[in-house]
Amino acid sequence: MNISPLVDTHAHLDVSAFDKDRAETIIRALKVGVGNIISVGTNLESSKKAVELSKQYAGVYAAVGIHPHDATVIDKADIAKLGEIAKYSGVVAIGETGLDFHRNYSPKRAQIQALEWQLALSAELGLPIIIHCREAEQDMLDLLCSSMSNNVITQGKCRGVIHCFSGDIDIAKEYLNMGFYLSLGAYIGYPSSASTHDVIRSIPQDRLLVETDCPFLPPQSHRGKRNEPSYLPLTVNILATIRKESYEDVAMASTQNAVQLFHLSLNNNCK
Ligand SMILES: [Zn+2]
């Protein structure tokens, strides 16, 4: 049987947790069918590293952005620098950006400002946006709505993804109506996530993406250890079981969606 290659749409390959075995980690992913990995930057430095990785490894792409945790230390000049980095050929998205009112490492105002700048940048460059949202659902929806009414992004045509989506059915609907994709990771298999299965089933197949968010959020069977892209098939398997679909269906749909959203050229060279 021909199994579709997978796309890990959200990995942090630049972090030091991969310093000792980055190349081997990417090879392990290829061996289990994860043909493409988007390495996601969280500040200027890690965004530059993500671009370097996209140049170095076939199948690796980069997203460049400022994480809400880092929002307090940036200004408009940094966004201009981000815009320059975003012009490299391996860059497929702006992000991750967003709002995190759980940890609040940056003040609310700084997070909102950094997100608005990056939404405008994504519109200007025609790149999709990768959004992190934690305990800030209503603020996020309000901000995206007002960006739409100010024509920063266009209703129904906004290209982007809510990564590690964990909202309820109503919030999912709002994002879907705006045109967003919803990305799920290994946390859907945690015992504490059992109550989210209805939401997971409610997401249309053509809006689903999968990710590891590695080195964070490992699958249940690897809790407490480093996560990596080669574990992505475990998540696809759980997702297929929850949605009562076949592994191949979920693999094929999520890969097609990733190709469409991020304009990837698929790396079929998996084995
Ligand atoms: Zn992330």
Residue located via tokens 């990768």: 130
Q: Tell me how far the alpha carbon of residue 246 lies from the centroid of ligand 1, in angstroms.
A: 27
- How many whole angstroms from 56 Cα to the centroid of ligand 1? 21
**How far, in Å, from the CA of 197 to the mean position of ligand 1?**
22
For the question of whether the overall pTM of this predicted structure is more than 0.85, the answer is yes
Distance (angstroms) between ligand 1 centre and the Cα of 164 equals 8
User: Measuring CA to CA, which residue among 199, 239, 246, 197 is closest to residue 219?
Assistant: 239
Q: What are the phi and psi torsion angles at 153 (to 5°)?
A: -130, 155
Q: Which two tokens stand for residue 264?
A: 């990837």
Terminal CA-to-CA distance of the chain, rounded, Å? 14
State in Å: Cα 11 to ligand 1 middle.
Answer: 7
Cα distance between residue 240 and residue 224, in whole Å: 24
pLDDT recorded at residue 268 = 67
Tell me, in angstroms, the distance from the centre of ligand 1 to residue 213's CA. 5
pLDDT digits (tens, 9 = 90+) for 120-160: 999 999 999 999 999 999 999 999 988 877 766 665 566 89
Helix or strand (DSSP H, E) at 202:
helix 197-202
- Residues of the chain scoring pLDDT < 50: 1, 271
Output the CA 45–ligand 1 centroid distance in Å: 15
Distance 148 CA to ligand 1 centre (A): 25
Q: What is the pLDDT of residue 71?
A: 87
The answer to whether 261 and 10 have CB atoms below 8 angstroms apart is: no
- Using DSSP's 3-state secondary structure scheme, residue 136 falls into coil
Report the separation in Å between the CA atom of 185 and the middle of ligand 1, taken as the mean of its atom positions.
Answer: 11
Compute the distance from residue 226 Cα to the ligand 1 centre, in Å.
14
pLDDT at 154: 66
2 CA distance to ligand 1 middle (Å): 30
Between the CA of residue 266 and those of 7, 60, 262, what are the distances in Å?
Answer: 9, 10, 11
